[in-house]
Amino acid sequence: MLEFFINGQPVQAEEDQTVMQAAKASGHFIPYFCWHPQLSIPGNCRICAVEVEVEGGGIGWLDIACNMPVSPGLRVLTDSDKVRARRKETLQFITLNHPVDCGICDKAGECTLQDYHYAYNGSPSTSLDAKVHATKHYDLSQRIVLDNERCILCTRCVRFTREISKTNALGVISRGDHSLIRPVEDGAFENDVYSDNVIDICPVGALLSKAFLHKARVWYLKPSPSVCPGCARGCNIDIWHRKSEWRLTALDAKQNARIDRVTPRENAAVNGPWICNKARDLARLLERARAIQPLRKGQPVEPQAAIAAARSLIQDAHRPVALVSSWGSNEELAAFQQALGGRFSSFVKTDCEAEPGEVLEDDLLIRADKNPNRAAALALFPPLPEADVAAFPPDCDLVLVWGEGFSFAQLPPTAKIVFLNSWLQPENGHADVFLPVSVMTERSGHYTNFEGVVSAFEPCFAKPPGVFDAEALFASLGRST
């Protein structure tokens, strides 16, 4: 460790750190556009300039903090008159051709250029020349649209595809004020399963999600911490949804209970600051048609009647078998083990398999196991044998199926079925008792990923009437057994 000084205050730093890294770690703010802690340093935006003081009253100089190594006794100023003047000049240059369309830009409320202009510039453009125009709506892929007029050429997106996703899918063509971000011609960006991360790291409104475009302003939304259930990695995410104080009353009320977007929640132990595109598409998975009606042999019944019928089947069974969900939370798994684990022969089943064309596994985040909590489930129960029939003894007379992904055709033909599921599926009506259960956006809980890291998720919405929380349901079913 060495000591240097920021604004006269001593700061401890590692010998291989830059001033930017040390300042960020010690709580001193320095603005930046092109710098990113996970990417290489291009040093092309210049907004992070700081003043280096010279002992003895000598004339100092300005240099960029992102590429300035710390050294013992170094003294830098982050907000001197010289620094503020340089930042204002830099912002005048960056906004020279930038359109003043903040009112219609989807990045409004999250745009660092907007924030820095307010903090360090605050003046209209000094240029009398017309702005250079470029393509306004360029389709980088089926998921992302590029507004080249807003692009400040920080090259974060280019470096991401070269250094993180390793697709080398984006580059810069032409030079000067005619430079443009463009995808390579082989379509690699279209097939980059991490492509949407460039939307998050873009500091302005140049890269926009087509799924979120013009859908909602961020100040109407709130992020709830959650966990991506798409694979055993368990990436930490934020699920964005409508704030209660900004509920829509004149439009479809369903818009108050929808997932507007999904972004990474940084966790160095799990996913860092990245997620794959599958996580972005959680709305397609979690907003499928829901099952909200308890059934008994396909006929609607009251919730308490359904619970009573399931209890009776469990009480009367001689050789019951349970197929435990690998999507259940740690709390739900523990509740099942405590309430019913001694009553059933239990096996952990696979709820979800990889879809056709889906990336099975890679070296960054994606895991072959497409179930978020198999590790926690296997810590309590054995896996379902490869030959499913081996799980069911000849005299099996009851099977409790928790979660989707298991064909009823594989169950013993004479066994009764208690089925817990969240979605509208044909199997619901084929079960002797069907109990609809909540999804992860309607409850709190924890998942344990394949490396044993536990991550929490919080509810975003209220569960529909008639739907049970599995944790409480298991306790209720177990009271009479």
| DSSP of 174-189 | S-GGG-EEEE-TT-TT
CATH for 351: 3.40.50.740
Residues pairing with 446 in the sheet: 456
- Please check whether residue 392 lies inside any domain of the structure: yes
- Please check whether residue 7 lies inside any domain of the structure: yes
Sign of CA dihedral 198, 201, 207, 212: positive
Residues pairing with 63 in the sheet: 50
Separation of alpha carbons 255 and 278, rounded Å: 22
Which residue in this structure is represented by tokens 């569960």? 463
The pLDDT of residue 253 is 80
CB burial readout 421-448, b (16+ within 10 A) else e:
bbbeeebbeebbbbbbbbbbbbbebbbb
Instruction: Give the DSSP H or E segment for 82.
Output: helix 81-94
Assigned token pair, 187: 């379509």
- Please check whether residue 352 lies inside any domain of the structure: yes
CATH for 37: 3.10.20.740
Instruction: Give the DSSP H or E segment for 401.
Output: strand 398-402
- Altogether, the residues listed in the chain come to a count of 481
The pLDDT of residue 28 is 96
Residues pairing with 399 in the sheet: 321, 417
Q: What is the dihedral of CA 223, 225, 229, 232, to 10 degrees?
A: 140
Residue at a domain's end among 59, 94, 129: 94
Is 6 in contact with 23 (CB distance < 8 Å)?
A: yes
Is 326 in contact with 350 (CB distance < 8 Å)?
A: yes
Residue at a domain's end among 94, 109, 129: 94
- Please check whether residue 64 lies inside any domain of the structure: yes
Q: State pTM to two decimals.
A: 0.94
The pLDDT of residue 363 is 96
Task: At 235, give phi and psi (nearest 5°).
Answer: -60, 135
Q: pLDDT tens digits for the chain (481 residues)?
A: 999 999 999 999 999 999 999 999 999 999 999 999 999 999 999 999 999 998 877 788 999 999 999 999 999 999 999 999 999 999 999 999 999 889 899 999 999 999 999 999 888 888 888 898 999 999 999 999 999 999 999 999 999 999 999 999 999 999 888 899 999 999 899 999 999 999 999 999 999 999 999 999 999 999 999 999 999 999 999 999 999 999 988 778 888 999 999 999 999 999 999 999 999 999 999 999 999 999 999 999 999 999 999 999 999 999 999 999 999 999 999 999 999 999 999 999 999 999 999 999 999 999 999 999 999 999 999 999 988 778 999 999 999 999 999 999 999 999 999 999 999 999 999 999 999 999 999 999 999 999 999 999 999 999 999 999 999 999 999 886 4
The pLDDT of residue 59 is 81
Closest CA to 210 of 271, 158, 114, 138: 138
- Please check whether residue 100 lies inside any domain of the structure: no
The pLDDT of residue 226 is 98
Number of folded domains that form the chain: 2
Residue at a domain's end among 94, 123, 141: 94
- Please check whether residue 57 lies inside any domain of the structure: yes
Q: Which residues constitute the domain of residue 379?
A: 295-478
Separation of alpha carbons 422 and 400, rounded Å: 15
- Please check whether residue 446 lies inside any domain of the structure: yes
Is 288 in contact with 454 (CB distance < 8 Å)?
A: no
**With left for phi above 0 and alpha for psi between -120 and 50, is residue 6 left, alpha or beta?**
beta
If one counts every other C-beta atom within 10 angstroms of the C-beta of residue 133, the result is 10
- Please check whether residue 159 lies inside any domain of the structure: no
The pLDDT of residue 480 is 62
If one counts every other C-beta atom within 10 angstroms of the C-beta of residue 356, the result is 5
360-393: per-residue pLDDT in tens? 999 999 999 999 999 999 999 999 998 877 899 9
Separation of alpha carbons 4 and 18, rounded Å: 11
The pLDDT of residue 123 is 83
Residues pairing with 455 in the sheet: 447
